[in-house]
Copies of this chain bind each other. A is one copy, B any other.
């Protein structure tokens, strides 16, 4: 049911070769109906998540899971937890990640409920 648009084949081929796997997950298959959006989204993901940088690949996945949880995106939590496992996520690291996500959600709510003014010490000079 995937589009015959040549841009779709090109992106799918790049996903497969970049990941060194035949598997193309449902997000990309769903985006295949919108070739320009598929191209732009994959290009951005590749630049942000895969190109070498100062944050290691597993740390990037932890951040992605954290954002996806806070945004309530079940699909993204699943897909990036799978990606993190493939990059070596340990049970202990997952436990710490969960604790931080939960703790942050709690203090976020408290700070919002209490309408706390920002300390001048936190302003960048």
B-binding residues in A (CB < 8 A): 23, 25-27, 30-31, 33-34, 36-37, 40-41, 44-45, 47-49, 53-55, 59-60, 62-79, 81-82, 90-119, 121-123
Q: List 13 A-B contacts (CB under 8 A).
A: A23-B121, A27-B116, A40-B99, A48-B99, A53-B96, A54-B90, A54-B96, A60-B96, A67-B100, A67-B101, A69-B113, A78-B122, A79-B119
- On whether the beta carbons of B71 and A104 are closer than 8 Å, the reply is yes
- Residue on B nearest A61 in the bound complex, by CB: B100
Residues in B whose Cβ lies below 8 Å from that of A99: 34, 36-37, 40, 47-48
Complex CA distance for A81 and B113, rounded to whole angstroms: 9
